[in-house]
Structure 1
C-alpha cells in the first residue's frame, strides 16, 4: 500500500504508516510520484504548468479541417501487421486513443502525464509505475481502468505489430499495485524502458472480447481521446468528430489542442490528383516536399486572391534517411563494394538540380541536421572506444570517416561511373559484351520496386523521375534493372515480406533514438517480417551501440553511442540517400492559423492539426 496517496488521513496515521514502511520496504520503493519524466535531466515544465509552450491556450474551437493522404485503406486497426490501416489513427495517437503519458515535441524526449496522473521509477529505472487519473473516461463514458491498461499492454505485446513485441519482451512482470496503479518491472538494464511503457495506446478491453485482435477490421476502435470516428468510406475517406464530452479537455497538456470540430481525411490515387484537389479548394493543407515546386508551382488563383497562403516552419530534428535501399538478403547486394558502386552511379548532383533546383541539402548521414550526427573525419574519444572492439567487422570508412560522392552537373557523371566500375571489378563483376557479368558469366540483374501511390515524402512521379535518371546511369555499367510499379496493397505486402531487391525507403528519426532502432536495424528483422530493417542488415556493432544508448547515464555518453551508430549505418552503404529540407513548407487555407512559437521538432506529429485552429470559430 502506498500511504502517501491517502491525503485525507490524519497526519498521525500517515507518519506512523511511513515509519512502518521505512522499516520494512526496500529503498527503491520510496520513489516519489512525478508529473513527468525525461530521458536525461529534468522536464522543462514544472508541476502546475498551465499549457505546453507551443500551443495557443486561447485558440478558438470549431470548424473543419480537410486533409488528405495518398493511397487507400482497408483497416481501422493500425496496431497490427495485417491490413492497410488508416494511418492518422496511429500517427496522431491523440485523436482516438490515448497513452498514459504524452510527449512534448519541444523537448528531445520528455513525457507528461495524460491518462496517468503520476509516474514513479527508481534511480536505475529497473521498474516504472503509473497511476491513472480517476476521471479518465472512454468516449462511451465508461472509466479507463487498470484492467484496460494491462490488457492493452499484453495484447499489443503478444498479438500486435512487431514494434510492440520487442519492448514487451523486456518486461519481466506487470502487476496491479493499487486500485488505479500498475507497475512494470524490467528484465533488461535499459533506462529508456521507463519512458516507452508510457507510450502505448490504451484500448477498451470489453470492445475486443470475442474478437481476434490480430486480424484487420473496419470496426471503429473505442478510445479515450478527444475525437471519435464519425464516418468511414472504406478506402476513400474517414472523418473524425470532436467529442463534446471529452474527459481531458481541461488538462494542461491538452489546452490549446484538438481545436477543430471535424477532421476529414480524403484519400487520392496519387499526389498529382491530390495537388489538383488542393488547388481546387477541396482540401485545406498541402505539404510541399520539393523546393523547386514550392517556388514554381504555387501561382494559382487561390494563392493570388489570398484564399491560400504559404508558411515555412523550421525544425531541429534529424534528417532521417530517404532514398533507394538495397536488400542485402539478395546476395547481389551483400557485398559493400557493390553497394558503393550503386552509390557512385547515382548522380546526386544532377538529380538534385533536376528535381529541386539544388536548394535542399543532401542527407549525409542518418542523423544529419542534429547534434547526434556523426562528425567529419575519424571517430575520436568515447565514440572511437565504442567502435574499437568491432573494428575487424566494420566496412572501410566507419572508423576513418565516410563521405558520399558529390556527383556531377551533367546527366552522366564519368568520375562516378569509373569509380563504380572499379568497385564492381573488385567484387568480381566486369562488363562483357556490353553487359555486367560475374566470373561464372551470370548477369547483374535486379528489380527496383515502387509504389504507384508514392510515399509520405515523395510523390510517385518524383520517385519515378529519380529512378529513371538512375537507370540511365546504370546502363553505362552494363546494368539494365527492371522497374516494377505496384498498387499500395501489393507494395505493402511485398515490402513487409522483404520481397524486393531495391525500393524507395524513408525512415524518420527523432532526437531521442533508442529501443525502436532495433526494429529498424536489428538482426531479427533479417527473417522476421514487418520490421523496418528493409536492408536486411545484421551488424552486431549496431546492436551494441543501441544497447549503449539504453545504458548511458549522461548526455555525452548517449551522444557518442548515437554518433557511433550513425557511422555504422552510413558507412554500411545500405541506402542511396537523396536530399532533405530544414523547413516544412505548408500551403494552407488563409482561415487556418497556428501558434507563433515553433516547437523543437517543428511540423511533427502533435503539431498539425492538433495545435491549429480556424479563425472565426466560436
Structure 2
C-alpha cells in the first residue's frame, strides 16, 4: 500500500471514531433489504406506490419538437470516454442507468432498468434486480451480462471518474440472468451503491470494446426514450422518441420525455447563439450573462409575450464562478501569492458596473446551503474532524470570521492594494518602479488568463487593470469554446474561469474535483491541481457518514480545507436560474428542487377549432 493510502486509511478510521461512525465494514449488524429506491441518507421521500414524480405533469401531451441550442461543437456521440467533444445529452435520453434520480431530494434513486435494489446497513454489497420488460432500442432484452459488461468496460476504458469509482468493486457476479451483485468489501464508501445504480448500461452485443475509446458519429444503441436519427457533424444532432420505449409507462417516467423529436443545434459564438434565439431558431436558453438578462431581452417577441422569462429559485448550493489558479505553474505555487491575487480582485466594482448588483459572493464551494462553512463557526464535531484529518485551517476560517475582501468599489482601493503588496513582499516580490519583480531573480510576476466568452473577457480585463496597479502584467487570451475545453481538460493554462455545480449530497465526484490522484490525470475537474492528503481524507470520510448531521459536518470541514488552500478566486454566486423560452414550450407548475428539467416540458397544443 502507498504512503498516501496508509495516511488515508488512518484518517478515515480516526475521523470515523470522532464522528461516531463504523470505521470498518461489517461493524454494524447486516440488515439486507430489497427496495424500489435507495437514499444516500434517510428514507426515500416518494412512497412505493407513487404514480408520478411531484415535479412532472402526468397529463402532459405528447408530440412536437424541442430545439435545444448549445454553445460549442462536438466531434463524438460517446460521452463516456475522454477523447473528443461529445454530445452530453446522449446520456439519459439515449443511454439509461439502472436507477434514476429523484430531483426533489438530495440524493435518492428510483428503479428504472433495475426494478429493485438490495443492500445491507454497512453497504458492503449491492444487488440489482432487473426489470424483465427492459429492452434496448433494437429490441434485445437488457440482461445481467450487459450490466456486468458495462461495468468492466467503463472501469477499464471509461472516463477517469468511471475508472476511479468502478475499480472499488471487489467482485461482480450474475446469480441469474436478471440479477447483478457487486461485492463492495473494503471500499469504505456508502455512496458506491448509488454510484453503481447510476452506471450507464450498454448492450454487450452492440459495443466493440476494441474501438470503444475512439470517437464516433454513430448513435449508440441504448435503452432510453430516444434514438439518434440524424447527425450533422459539429452542427446538430436529432433525437427521435422511441415509440416502443419499454419504460414509457413507469411511474418514474410519467409526464417525462414528451417531445417526439429533440434537435440539438450547436453555435460557435455566444452572440450568434443569442441572435438565433431572438429569431426563434431554438426554443429556450438558460441565460448566464446579467447584462443580457437585464437589458438584452427588449426585442419584439419578448415584449409581446411570445418569449417568456422565468426566474427559478432552486434548493441546491448556489453555482459559483471562480478564477482558478493552476498551481502546477510555479508562479502560483506560493499560497501567499494566491492570497494576494485574491485581495486584488475588485468584486464590488465589477458587480455594480457589469452585473447590476445581481450577484453575491462566497469564499466556499457550497454557497447558500447548509453544507457551506463560509461565515459559519466550526462546531466541536467539525473541529475534531479536521484535527484527525491533519488539516491546517487558519483560525479565522475555523471560527467563521474570515470574509472575502470588500473594496470601496472605486476600482482604486488602496487598503486592499497595501495588504496584497505586503503578502507579495513576504513571498519574495518587490515593486521595481512600476513592475513587480521576484527579489532573487528580478523576474516579473506575470501570467495569462484564458477566456472564451464575452463575459469572461470583461471580467479578466477588469482584473487585469487591478493587477497592473500592483505592478503585475497579465495577458488575456480569448479562444473559441473548442480550444478552451481542450486546454482546460489538458491543464494547459495559467488561470481560467470555471464553475463547479454542487449537489446537496456531494460524494465520489469530490475526488474528481480536488483529489490528489485526479490532479495528474487529464480530463478530471481538478483544474487547480490540488494535492492535499487532508482533503483526500475528508473526501474519503464523507463517504462513510451514515446520518445526515455527520455528513453535513464532514462536507463543511472539506469546504474549510478548500477555502484554506486559496486555490481559486471567488467571482460570484448565481442565486437563481434565468430561463427564457418561447411560449410554444410549456413546463409544469411545480419546479423540482434541482431547478428546470427539459425532460418534463411539452409543446403547447394547437388551439382547437371552434
Query: TM-score under structure 2 normalisation?
Result: 0.92
Q: Equivalent residues in 2 for 1:73-472 (5 A)? A: 73-89=74-90, 93-186=91-184, 187-209=186-208, 211-389=210-388, 393-394=392-393, 397-401=396-400, 402-440=402-440, 441-451=442-452, 460-472=453-465
Aligned residue number for residue 12 of structure 2: none
CA offset at residue 263 of structure 1? 0.9
User: Which moved further from structure 2: 178-187 or 314-323?
Assistant: 314-323
C-alpha contact (below 8 Å) 1:152/1:203 kept by paired residues: yes
Deviation string, structure 1 residues 189-209 (Cα, Å, up to 9, x no partner): 111111111001111122223
CA offset at residue 574 of structure 1? 1.1
Pairing partner for 2:518 from 496, 500, 525? 525
CA offset at residue 510 of structure 1? 0.5
Pairing partner for 1:540 from 518, 525, 533? 533
Secondary structure of the residue that 1:81 maps to in structure 2?
Answer: coil
Aligned residue number for residue 610 of structure 1: 599
Distance 1:515 1:142 in 2: 32
> Is the counterpart of residue 559 in structure 1 residue 552 in structure 2?
yes
Secondary structure of the residue that 1:505 maps to in structure 2?
Answer: strand
Deviation string, structure 1 residues 138-191 (Cα, Å, up to 9, x no partner): 111111111111111111111011010111121100111122000111131111
CA offset at residue 30 of structure 1? 7.1
Distance 1:48 1:158 in 2: 38
Deviation string, structure 1 residues 54-96 (Cα, Å, up to 9, x no partner): 100000001111111111110111111111111222xxx3200
Distance 1:415 1:43 in 2: 52
Secondary structure of the residue that 2:155 maps to in structure 1?
Answer: helix
C-alpha contact (below 8 Å) 1:387/1:399 kept by paired residues: no
CA offset at residue 525 of structure 1? 2.0
Q: How many pairs are equivalent?
A: 577
Pairing partner for 2:581 from 580, 588, 591? 588
CA offset at residue 374 of structure 1? 0.7
Structure 1 segments, 4+ long, off by >6 Å, are: 27-30
Distance 1:477 1:505 in 2: 24
Secondary structure of the residue that 1:578 maps to in structure 2?
Answer: strand
Aligned residue number for residue 22 of structure 1: none
Distance 1:568 1:359 in 2: 28
C-alpha contact (below 8 Å) 2:448/2:474 kept by paired residues: yes
User: Which moved further from structure 2: 34-43 or 383-392?
Assistant: 383-392
CA offset at residue 210 of structure 1? 6.3
Distance 1:542 1:31 in 2: 32
CA offset at residue 293 of structure 1? 2.8
C-alpha contact (below 8 Å) 1:323/1:577 kept by paired residues: yes
Pairing partner for 1:493 from 483, 486, 497? 486
CA offset at residue 388 of structure 1? 1.7
Deviation string, structure 1 residues 395-415 (Cα, Å, up to 9, x no partner): 564424332112232122222
Distance 2:96 2:153 in 1: 16
Distance 2:461 2:267 in 1: 24
Secondary structure of the residue that 1:530 maps to in structure 2?
Answer: coil
Deviation string, structure 1 residues 470-529 (Cα, Å, up to 9, x no partner): 001111111111222233333333222212111111111111001110111100122222
Deviation string, structure 1 residues 235-268 (Cα, Å, up to 9, x no partner): 1111111111111000000000000111111111
CA offset at residue 28 of structure 1? 8.3
- Mark the CA change 1:419 to 1:523 in structure 2 (over 3 Å): closer, same or farther: same
Aligned residue number for residue 61 of structure 1: 62
Distance 2:35 2:262 in 1: 34
Distance 2:395 2:470 in 1: 23
Secondary structure of the residue that 1:107 maps to in structure 2?
Answer: coil
CA offset at residue 421 of structure 1? 0.8
Distance 2:412 2:274 in 1: 32
Secondary structure of the residue that 1:118 maps to in structure 2?
Answer: strand
> Is the counterpart of residue 475 in structure 1 residue 464 in structure 2?
no
Secondary structure of the residue that 2:600 maps to in structure 1?
Answer: coil
User: Which moved further from structure 2: 341-350 or 481-490?
Assistant: 481-490
Distance 1:379 1:436 in 2: 38
C-alpha contact (below 8 Å) 1:448/1:481 kept by paired residues: yes
Distance 1:85 1:428 in 2: 44
Deviation string, structure 1 residues 20-76 (Cα, Å, up to 9, x no partner): xxxxxxx98972321000011110111121011110000000111111111111011
C-alpha contact (below 8 Å) 1:514/1:549 kept by paired residues: yes
CA offset at residue 211 of structure 1? 4.2
C-alpha contact (below 8 Å) 1:397/1:571 kept by paired residues: no
Distance 1:71 1:299 in 2: 25
Secondary structure of the residue that 1:218 maps to in structure 2?
Answer: coil
Secondary structure of the residue that 1:183 maps to in structure 2?
Answer: strand
Distance 1:432 1:375 in 2: 37
Secondary structure of the residue that 2:211 maps to in structure 1?
Answer: coil
Deviation string, structure 1 residues 355-382 (Cα, Å, up to 9, x no partner): 2111221233110111111152542221
CA offset at residue 539 of structure 1? 1.3
Secondary structure of the residue that 1:559 maps to in structure 2?
Answer: helix
C-alpha contact (below 8 Å) 1:396/1:571 kept by paired residues: no
C-alpha contact (below 8 Å) 1:285/1:586 kept by paired residues: yes
Secondary structure of the residue that 2:312 maps to in structure 1?
Answer: strand
- Mark the CA change 1:183 to 1:237 in structure 2 (over 3 Å): closer, same or farther: same
C-alpha contact (below 8 Å) 1:37/1:110 kept by paired residues: yes
